[in-house]
Amino acid sequence: MTGRSVVAADNAVASPSEAIADVVLGPQHKSLPPAAWGLTVREYLATAPHLDHLQTPVLTLDRAALDANRAVMADWARAAGVRLAPHGKTSMSPQLWREQLDVGAWGITLATGWQAQIGRALGLNRIMLANALLDPVGLHWAAAEIANDPNFELYSWVDGVDSVREMERHLEAAPDGVRLNVLVELGGPHGRTGARGLAAAHEVAAAVGKSSRLRLAGVGGYEGALAHDRTDAGLAAVRHYLDEIAILHQELAAAGGYDEFVGQPVEAGLSGETTRPNRRSAIVTAGGSAYPDLVVERLAGLADEAGAHGVSTTVVLRSGAYLVHDDGFYSGISPLAAGRTERPLRSAMHGWARCVSRPETELALLDAGKRDLPFDEGLPVPQRMAGPASTPLPAAAHVSALNDQHAFLLLPGGADADVPVGSVVRLGLSHPCTAFDKWRLIPVIDDADAERPRVVEFLPTFF
């Protein structure tokens, strides 16, 4: 990007929205019109642009839905007695991280060392790295950051004794006293990473306990790898796995596996929230966006930040997709989707694509493809025509395939008048985690259901 970077000189961004306002727009910003090139974001927004001023294809976020979803999840987690560390890799958008921290998020979760470095450069002071930090460059960076600022909280995962040795090897040259907080990751059969079984997890914890460079900070894992639906079998598998995480934490606590820790309150970053107690709190963490209800059901009872019943314990939920939600996978599985709760999440992302060809009566070709829209958890769903008519499409209309730059929209029994060449179709999307990474600057509109949505801001992403 040209113009001022969103990374401030002091590595702390008080307001990402203010920083992005001075970015100069240009042809590198997908779907923005040439009329915007050379203007700053602030200057372009002052022209009161509408969605129909942008080129297609375009991905948009709905400001009203973002605000509603953020409040729903913050209130839900608070009522459940758990902390929220939203998975920032979903959006890689510091502006959205800031908004989540502003309503009480405990920290931000990230997935790679590089993502953690981005988060730290943008002012985050508490980062959950839901992965094993084994890259030498990343470990050296982490050691330097901890040495420079003892109040910086970075939590990495570890799932094997060999991984413990590898971490220690690359931390040997770290300054005296530097220790990296690690959580023992418990896995499940045919799952992703994670120690297979409680015995293996205890071996990892014992290796961490002997290390002068690592500190056992808790336990965690990812239940979403063990099921992909809400069938009885899927829910039972998730519950069993979460119960084992609880058992692991309780056994480690009973065995004295958690070090004592005393420190001063620290800002979580970007929002200025201070939540760290003056005594160490062990972390128990799980939770994507598919089964947060089960995480609360099986783990929330472990929360004891005052340490009234032994080891001070903080339960951290890492859901990331809730902020944007979707019209596909998460709308079908989330306990907070419409039809499952009185205060549901709603999709805040949409694709807008133009019909560029009607080569057959029942086929329309749209100008959005794999380079523009997510497709790994379901193809886009045609919802309605854009513009004054806002005509809903027939229920039988569906996207059958995506090419790099085209969508095949099938219109059983359709006619040219249904989706004429030149018209724009609004598409519901599935899986926000693979939507954001296709866009470096995402327009935010006031209301995707409006007759003529207005562009109210832009969100940068870091991928």
188, 237 Cβ separation under 8 angstroms: yes
Question: Would the CATH topology of 11-62+322-462 be identical to that of 131-317?
Answer: no
DSSP class of 301:
G
138, 185 Cβ separation under 8 angstroms: no
In angstroms, rounded to a whole number, what is the distance separating the alpha carbons of residues 213 and 253?
20
Assess if CATH 3.40.50.2300 describes domain 11-62+322-462: no
CA angle 133, 139, 140 (to 5 degrees): 170
50, 452 Cβ separation under 8 angstroms: yes
pLDDT in tens, the chain (463 residues): 333 333 333 333 445 667 799 999 999 999 999 999 999 999 999 999 999 999 999 999 999 999 999 999 999 999 999 999 999 999 999 999 999 999 999 999 999 999 999 999 999 999 999 999 999 999 999 999 999 998 999 999 999 999 999 999 999 999 988 999 999 999 988 889 999 999 999 999 999 999 999 999 999 999 998 998 999 999 999 999 999 999 999 999 999 998 664 334 455 666 555 544 445 799 999 988 999 999 999 999 999 998 888 899 999 999 999 999 999 999 999 999 999 999 999 999 999 999 999 999 999 999 999 999 999 999 999 999 998 767 889 889 999 999 999 999 999 988 666 899 999 999 999 999 999 999 999 999 999 999 999 999 999 999 9
According to CATH, the topology of domain 131-317 is: TIM Barrel (3.20.20)
Task: Write down the domain spans for the chain.
Answer: 11-62+322-462, 131-317
Phi and psi at residue 3, in whole multiples of 5°?
Answer: 85, -170
pTM, rounded to two decimals: 0.91
In angstroms, rounded to a whole number, what is the distance separating the alpha carbons of residues 351 and 372?
8
